[in-house]
Structure 1
């Protein structure tokens, strides 16, 4: 990956297009689960989202393998895809970027108003 790709994020765009192309080969219920996994995982990304690329690759591979084995998507992921995604990125109470930014803002405001560290 060169500097230009890293700055513009075009490497991630190529990778996501590859993921989506792989997902098109899955059954319809697996494709719907993949879309939901993608939308739930982005909440746990860092500023660029690069930390999620290996996690997305692994999640898609899990879907591919289990679809090939003939399992139902509910057997693999359960009923709580949001919880499944939180478990993928860390422990069950994983914080999203919104939570992190909210805490940082609250700390800054408290520091300005109350002299806290």
Structure 2
């Protein structure tokens, strides 16, 4: 990846398009699970989402292998896709960017209110 690709994000665009093409080859229930996985993983992304590319690739590979083995989605992911995604990125209690922003806002408000006394 060169500097231009990193700045513009074109490398990520190529990767996402590649993932989508591979996902279209999956059975319908796997495509639905893939869409749910994508929507649940984006909250764990950094500013660019670049940190999620390897995680998305691994999740898609898991779906492809499970589809080839004729496993059901429930056997592969369980009943809780949101929990599965949290486990992919780390602990169940992993902080999202929203949690970090909320904590920063609370600290700033507390500091301002503390300064008013």
Q: Which TM-score applies when normalising by structure 2? A: 0.93
Q: Superposed, which structure 2 residues align to 1:1-117 within 5 Å?
A: 1-114=1-114
Shift in Å, 1:94: 1.6
Aligned equivalents of 2:11 and 2:113: distance in 1? 43
- Could you state the TM-score of these two structures normalised by the residue count of structure 1? 0.93
Which runs of no fewer than 5 residues in structure 1 stay unpaired?
A: none
Runs of 4+ that moved beyond 4 A: none
Offset from partner CA, 1:32-60 (integer Å, 9 cap, x none): 00000001000000111111111111100
1:98 Cα deviation from its structure 2 partner: 1.1
State which drifts further: 91-100 or 45-54. 91-100
- Provide the aligned length of Structure 1 versus Structure 2: 115
Q: What's the secondary structure of 2:70's corresponding residue?
A: coil
Query: How many angstroms does 1:79 deviate by?
Result: 0.9
